[in-house]
Chains A and B, each alone.
Chain A
Amino acid sequence: MTDPSAPGLEVRRPMAAGRAIRRSAWTVTIVGLLGALLVVEKLVHPALNVFDMQSLVDGALPLCLAAMAQTAVVLSGGIDLSVGPMMSLVNVVSALLMTHATSGQAVLIALGVVAAVVAAGALTGAVIVATGVPDIIVTLATGFVWGGLALHVMPIPGGAAPAGFAALMTGQLGSVPSGLVVIVAALAFLWEPVHRSPAGLALYAVGSNRAAAYLSGVAVGRARVAAYALGGAFAALGGLALTASTTNGNAASGTSYTLTSVAATVLGGVSLVGGRGGMIGPVAAALLLTLINTLLTFEGVDPNFSLVVQGAIVVLVVMVAGLVLVRRRGA
């Protein structure tokens, strides 16, 4: 919508479709895919019931939260390779502290753990900003440290979680799996307020173009630290979800989530260079990955095969995206 008389000022709009749809096309696709898969499965296996939904959500909850943790950081232009070890650490620490706790105490413990992990996340971010060492290296190193600490706290699996606390995250609220409530609550009360605030804009801005953000007067360092702190909050919830679902602590419980959280983030349409994407996509992608896993198991396929499928899906999807990019550039 610029002055037509000025040559060279035409706005490039890659597609004619509505802007809102174009900008969230990927998220819509992933959510649609998830829905379609659920419907198909329901048609093929009418036996699929509420209980299966419950186990799907329970199984997906840690990954959903891990993906949210990763997304918060990736949007700001970073990457967090310590998500998995941090979840392990939260898992063992909370399981240890909750061993003889009542449900009420467990909730307090959980809150304390979240607060501590937010601080740890902020510290990680501060180290990255202060040292100028690439995110990938710093979080790899902090991952070593968290993993070591987890092992130190609990060399062999142990600890416990009170049933009431477990039910809070993996039980049911009415007929709705409480895991779903946790996800929605995390989105609504943790992500949305940030997303809509100037801090959220700053987070996207530093991820999109750090130099431009700095020149625009954004406190770049503060925004990056905030992203890691927010990521910490989600990672802590993810670790607590592990405690709730297994009701014990295991220093290796979170290990796999570093890589799967990155996979879900990318599959959820978040650009790994930052600044582009949302939170719904990665959550849907995490559910999708878990659903595929569940369905394959349901079909009697070896559960390990799902790892192959997950890896292949991620690679294929990003390859297709890459191909689209190459095509568009060539045109």
Chain B
Amino acid sequence: MTPSPAATDRPDTGALRPRPAVRWSAARRSLADRPALTLAGILVLLLAATDAVSPGFVTPHQLSTTLLYAAPLGALAAGQTLAMLTGGIDLSVSATATAAAYLIAGLGAQGTPRALAVALALGLVVGMTNGIGIGIFRVQPLIMTLGMAGVLGGALTLASLTFTNGVPVVPDAVHELGSGTVLGYLPLNTLVWAPLAVVLLVGLARSGLGRAIYAVGDNPLACRLAGVRVWQVLLVTYVLGGVLSAIAGILLVGYTNAADLNLATPYLLQSVAAVVIGGTSILGGSGGYAGTILGALILTVLDSLLTILNVSQAGKQMLYGAIVLGLAWIYARTALVE
């Protein structure tokens, strides 16, 4: 978290390299100044490319499907964004989402409201435990959430053995929420995601908590000395992350209509990828949710494009790796040039 080592390390890496081509540096600058705009441009380009490859892709129906796919990832990446803005990381988002999904399926028979309440409560408890560990006991976020993911994963496996006694059912209402649409094309899960996104966007930019989250990510010691109660900020951040992950799990299980032990597992790395593509620094203190939303949409459209192009899962994975690395590089270089 100390900026100085990197700073002294830089002179022999970046600062003395010959200046890149003008066009390239202009692209980078636009990414630095208006990341959201640039990312939106990339998204449009991707949509156009997909439409070119598979004419008729940009239809209300397909866009609706894209939103449907993107919403759970968007919710999951929201928690990840908050954690990364404070300079941490949350590796338990997917385990929390899976656990929430499991509870929905397992308790579905006992009534939807109850199942939803229990699933959200689980997110709250997981987030609070993470927050207590990280905020009060000063455990590194990586370790704390890693341990939490292990505990949840094991507990889930155990639980799955007991659940097989009854019949896991995803309540119809949840299924409808996760896969249905209104007005023909608008996915219901987007109606859950959109208000969350608005609250997060406004909250990060215009609320005291939002300021505190950025501040803690930028310099926790300065926050402490300025009287900011860092542990409270961290606690609330991870509680929000837990609840957001649970919501993502609910949307996800509604979509698949069945819970399995690896339901949300692939989304862990994708959540990090969405945040990184969105331009939030893993070191904390800069970035925001707008970028993450676009990152989630870009990943989703890209996935469709690659599927249309018949790229294997293996190929997709490698490409995602390359994209994350490339974008992270561009962001790092723009920060350096500034």
Contacts and interface: CB of A to CB of B under 8 A. Distances in A.
Contacts, number: 184
B336 A326 contact: no
Nearest to A306: B154
Interface in A134-167: 134, 136-138, 140-145, 147-152, 155
A319 interface: yes
Interface string A236-267: 00000000000000000000000100110010
Interface string A105-142: 00000000000000000000001011111101110111
Contact of A141 (B8, B9, B322): B322
Given A152-B314, A221-B13, A326-B137, A311 B325 contact: no
A70 to B, nearest CB: 12
A144 B317 contact: yes
B41 interface: no
A304 interface: yes
B161 interface: yes
A137 B324 CA distance: 8
Interface in A196-242: 209-211, 214-215, 220-221
A308 B157 CA distance: 9
Interface in B1-36: 2, 4-10, 12-14
With most chain B CB atoms within 10 A of its CB, the pick from A143, A221, A310, A315 is A315
Contacts of A138: 325, 328
Contact of A136 (B273, B282, B316, B336): B282
Contacts of B154: 304-311
Q: Tell me whether chain A's interface is mostly helix, strand or loop, or mixed.
A: helix
B139 A319 contact: yes
Given A143-B321, A314-B150, A322-B139, A137 B314 contact: no
Contacts of B325: 127, 131, 133, 137-138, 141-142
B5 A209 contact: yes
Given A130-B13, A136-B89, A148-B321, A314 B314 contact: no
Interface in B292-321: 312-321
Q: Tell me whether chain B's interface is mostly helix, strand or loop, or mixed.
A: helix
A263 B324 contact: no
A185 interface: no
A209 B5 CA distance: 7
A69 B272 CA distance: 23
A6 interface: no
A308 B151 contact: yes
B146 interface: yes
A259 B150 contact: yes
A81 B312 CA distance: 23
A272 B150 contact: no
Interface string A56-80: 0000000000000000000001010
13 contacts: A131-B328, A131-B329, A132-B6, A148-B318, A152-B314, A155-B314, A211-B4, A221-B13, A302-B158, A304-B158, A305-B158, A308-B158, A311-B146
Which 4 A-B residue pairs are closest in the complex by CB-CB distance? A311-B150, A307-B154, A144-B321, A210-B5
Interface of B: 2, 4-10, 12-14, 89, 91, 133, 137-140, 142-144, 146-155, 157-158, 161, 269, 272-273, 276, 282-283, 312-322, 324-325, 328-329, 332-333, 336
Interface of A: 77, 79, 127, 129-134, 136-138, 140-145, 147-152, 155, 209-211, 214-215, 220-221, 259, 262-263, 266, 272, 302, 304-312, 314-315, 318-319, 322-323, 325-326
